[in-house]
Structure 1
């Protein structure tokens, strides 16, 4: 009987896939990552805004400082553009040069012993006595689908699929500087971002501005980026008339974990598994954590060190509170209450908890200083 060429084939060289592959490779299994892109920095869909916890992930250890920019504060705007500036002691968000970051992550995975095969799309896989035969790649004991919210692995092999999305657009402006560059600017507005928000942030290379709205198949207009940029320009210092240097757009999963997430010899990770916040659609930290946890557990099972009490995949979060807030965003989002209540203590505490996962603090506001 043919011995599998690989212990694990990971489909998709995003955050979750590379985190999974790294944890496997450093523990001994033979790992191959395939990705349809020749350049891992091409056609990026993620915003590249990292929470503090993501920066502590093993996959990002040794990340060159030039690829990150610390953003210590969050400024949240009501629809009428009144705002509150928040922070938390020792907590930072980070923006990135996302294409450069993805290229670097691919190189780091290769340095750990992962074989990364670029320009190779997943087409299909068939069951074998020892695992899977992946078209165009070869045999493997285990197959991992890390190929995003529209996972072909999930679709071909009968696993759960993401069904709830936001539709987002993001512009990049090279060399531009915001009036307040040390804050992540978040705009709540049913007019421009029903079901989500708009954002503007300073990056290592310029400014990124994005807008997302609830996606409904067959009836979702594109986000009004021109109108949004003109609306927020007085608050951010953006030149609303300037053409963006690059544009990203795509669907963002927001429905929570899928089911089933695994079957015999195959599992999903990251966006493919729906491991994103149902409220914020933040998936980088969740993807890094979930991919790494699955990698460690698969390595234990492949080596025979795991016991029957060790699950083949990590526990799945319920996101109960965030699911409730997602429902409210979808069905009960009104601008007037936010205009009136954004700066009230209860609303501020809820925003602090969502932003910082802890009690934050209202910080001095340079916009109102004498």
Structure 2
């Protein structure tokens, strides 16, 4: 029977305290393992790179059902806008999203990790690690049996250890407007526009503390383009009911994976999860549910293996990583064939509705 070794300072070191990293740590902690989470930020709720929008499945089927109600707002519909701002409202029986007070959600999640017995090191960025016998020597931390990189699309763990790196990304920016309310707060407002969001969409949503409005586009590091959020806001203000004088209370920005890493996501004693492993839908860029499930599975596999009840966690990490094959085909089509005029013309059509249902509701939707 395998068991945690006294030759290691930790059984598991996780880099990154967002959804995938927190899930990994919480799952492993259930087995009484010595777990350490490294988070480069002093405040887990600062400088966020996530919209914090959570799908129904994550709320109902994972540990995230424990999120306090005060941090959530239910959104049951999608209003999809063509570039000319004509729109259609989509919904699905029983389906919903949850927008969140994301900064406080991340702080709450970090507190849950710490209260589970995990050592949480804030303001402690990962710098380097090297293979050391049957484990890893993590600079500034000590020796660990397993090391997991859950540190985002530009994973430093992947860079420093030679694992695959995500090259296909979107770049997104989002403004938050505290205390304001959308004219239609019960809908997730999504805007198709090649002008403002080539390769993706713009969005507006009501959350528990205000309005969040964002924009993402296909990122090419050789010809980097900044999202024109100011122009987008001017374009959609009237449609969503955002006052012209409104000023953002917070800004978040960052890279979002829309492709797989260019190499392996595991090596002996080493695994990637979340954005670092490309565990994000290449079409919708939604990743909280899939990242949480994969991160939890990795942590659980480490725990079962060290307690003598499971296979090597590296194999489990590879086996459970989603491939998103169908959505990758749709991503390719969006990259090569996105145009504004077909959406303007076809928004009300059955084929366009079915496409939207596939993206938002897994074809369970209905137009109203």
TM-score, length-normalised on structure 2? 0.95
CA distance in 2, matches of 1:321, 1:333: 17
SS of the residue 1:218 aligns to:
helix
SS of the residue 1:233 aligns to:
helix
SS of the residue 2:8 aligns to:
coil
**How many angstroms does 1:347 deviate by?**
1.3
- Residues 222-273 of structure 1 show CA distances to partners (whole Å, capped at 9, x for unaligned) of 1111111111112111123422111111111111355301000000000000
- Say whether residues 1:360 and 2:329 are aligned partners: no
- Say whether residues 1:24 and 2:44 are aligned partners: no
Which residues in structure 2 correspond to 1:203-222 (within 5 Å)? Answer: 203-222=207-226
- Say whether residues 1:189 and 2:193 are aligned partners: yes
Is 183-192 or 289-298 further displaced after alignment?
A: 289-298
Contact 1:257 1:275 in 2 (8 A): no
CA distance in 1, matches of 2:118, 2:314: 25
Contact 1:261 1:273 in 2 (8 A): yes
For 1:3, the equivalent position in structure 2 comes to 7
- Say whether residues 1:118 and 2:98 are aligned partners: no
Which residues in structure 2 correspond to 1:181-260 (within 5 Å)? Answer: 181-256=185-260, 259-260=263-264
**How many angstroms does 1:35 deviate by?**
0.6
**How many angstroms does 1:285 deviate by?**
1.1
Contact 1:57 1:288 in 2 (8 A): no
For 1:268, the equivalent position in structure 2 comes to 272
Contact 1:256 1:277 in 2 (8 A): no
Aligned in 2, Cα 1:170/1:307: closer, same or farther, shift over 3 Å? Answer: closer
Is 117-126 or 251-260 further displaced after alignment?
A: 251-260
For 1:368, the equivalent position in structure 2 comes to none
For 1:138, the equivalent position in structure 2 comes to 142
For 1:328, the equivalent position in structure 2 comes to 333
Contact 2:83 2:343 in 1 (8 A): yes
For 2:347, the equivalent position in structure 1 comes to 342
For 2:309, the equivalent position in structure 1 comes to 305
Aligned in 2, Cα 1:324/1:310: closer, same or farther, shift over 3 Å? Answer: closer
**How many angstroms does 1:362 deviate by?**
1.6
**How many angstroms does 1:2 deviate by?**
6.5
CA distance in 2, matches of 1:119, 1:323: 36
Count of residue pairs brought into register by the alignment: 363
- Say whether residues 1:173 and 2:181 are aligned partners: no
CA distance in 1, matches of 2:108, 2:138: 26
Aligned in 2, Cα 1:309/1:32: closer, same or farther, shift over 3 Å? Answer: closer
CA distance in 2, matches of 1:210, 1:225: 7
Contact 2:266 2:314 in 1 (8 A): no
CA distance in 1, matches of 2:266, 2:312: 17
Contact 2:354 2:363 in 1 (8 A): no
For 2:151, the equivalent position in structure 1 comes to 147
Unaligned runs of 5+ in 1: 364-370
Contact 2:134 2:269 in 1 (8 A): no
**How many angstroms does 1:294 deviate by?**
1.0
**How many angstroms does 1:348 deviate by?**
0.2
Q: CA RMSD in A?
A: 1.6
Contact 1:57 1:289 in 2 (8 A): no
Contact 1:149 1:274 in 2 (8 A): yes
- Residues 252-311 of structure 1 show CA distances to partners (whole Å, capped at 9, x for unaligned) of 111135530100000000000011111111111111011011111111211221257993
Match among 257, 278, 283 for residue 282 of structure 2: 278
CA distance in 1, matches of 2:229, 2:310: 51
**How many angstroms does 1:27 deviate by?**
1.8
SS of the residue 2:67 aligns to:
coil
SS of the residue 1:66 aligns to:
helix
CA distance in 2, matches of 1:308, 1:135: 25
CA distance in 2, matches of 1:118, 1:166: 27
- Residues 334-369 of structure 1 show CA distances to partners (whole Å, capped at 9, x for unaligned) of 111111111111210121121012421123xxxxxx
